Amino acid sequence: MPHILAIDTATDACSVAIQTPSGVYQTLSASPRKHTQCLLPAVKSLLAEHQLCLAQLDAIAFTVGPGSFTGLRIGISVAQGLAYGADLPLIPVSTLQTMAQTAVRLEIASPSQQIVPIIDARMNEVYWSAYAYKGDQKNVQSITEEWIDHPEKAIDPSIVTAEIVGIGSGWAYTSLQHRFPDAAITVDFYPQAYDVAILAEQKYQQQQTLSPLEAKPTYIRDETSWKKRQRIRQSFV
């Protein structure tokens, strides 16, 4: 099993985890706007606690987005700096997939349910996607792309084929709650670096890594706008 340092700063929570052959170990802090002060000390403390140095790691993983612009930049900058100095590859992991994976690990979701993480993107918009998993699978699987929408339009009803477990700050919008009144909702829910490490291991085994210079955040606002424009153009063809 590879040694992977995992970092998450995509939301109000800040967490760091290390995967080792003996397990995954995590430190978590829910301190909004304090990621700059918390992140590096947490990394150093966790490495020291498990008697590891950067040279003993195989890779560094980080949440690539979507999420807070400032938070993502902080996490990626630290990951890049550490990886560059230690000549390590980077592994980008989706924030939304991490949240779904966390829900499975914490047994908030079962195989019979669909997991819909939604993050408040501000400006009356939300980031969202949907995931499912089977009991014999280690990782959650996406059942739609990652999108940004107004809360009134988020979640395509055609993909809802099971009971919904709704997680994340975006579910605070009452318009979403009214559209899916039977959803099991947890608004105060954050991605955790523990699950960044779990998802990163599979990517590492599949050689889905980046050099430090290639790492950049995922801002799906522009990507989604382009996809919508493409669909509109195609409708006139």
Rounded mean pLDDT of 128-140?
Answer: 88
Q: In the numeric block, which tokens belong to residue 178?
A: 């009214």
**What's the confidence (pLDDT) of residue 129?**
97
**What's the confidence (pLDDT) of residue 220?**
84
For residues 29 and 91, membership in a common domain is answered with yes
228 part of a folded domain: no
For residues 14 and 130, membership in a common domain is answered with no
232 part of a folded domain: no
| Contact (CB, 8 A) for 43 and 7 | yes
What confidence tier does 231 reach under pLDDT thresholds 50, 70, 90?
A: very low
138 part of a folded domain: yes
For residues 52 and 19, membership in a common domain is answered with yes
Which of 83-97, 153-167, 193-207 shows the lowest per-residue confidence on average (mean pLDDT)?
A: 153-167
For residues 8 and 84, membership in a common domain is answered with yes
For residues 181 and 195, membership in a common domain is answered with no
Kindly report the CATH number assigned to the domain that includes residue 40. Answer: 3.30.420.40
Rounded mean pLDDT of 189-200?
Answer: 98
Total tally of structural domains belonging to the chain: 2
235 part of a folded domain: no
Rounded mean pLDDT of 50-77?
Answer: 97
Assign 3-class secondary structure to the chain. Answer: CCCEEEEECCCCCEEEEEEECCEEEEEEECCCCCHHHHHHHHHHHHHHHCCCCHHHCCEEEEEEECCCHHHHHHHHHHHHHHHHHHCCCEEEEEHHHHHHHHHHHCCCCCCCEEEEEEEEEECCEEEECCEECCCCCCCCEECCCCEEECCCCCCCHHHCCCEEEEECHHHHCHHHHHHCCCCEEECCCCCCHHHHHHHHHHHHHCCCCECHHHCCCCCHHHHHHHHHHHHHHHHCC
Q: Which domain holds residue 75?
A: 4-95+191-218
**What's the confidence (pLDDT) of residue 235?**
47
pLDDT digits (tens, 9 = 90+) for 146-176: 999 999 999 988 888 899 999 999 999 999 9
Q: In the numeric block, which tokens belong to residue 15?
A: 């967490």
For residues 126 and 179, membership in a common domain is answered with yes
For residues 106 and 91, membership in a common domain is answered with no
CA distance 18 to 90: 14
163 part of a folded domain: yes
**What's the confidence (pLDDT) of residue 131?**
97
**What's the confidence (pLDDT) of residue 223?**
54
25 part of a folded domain: yes
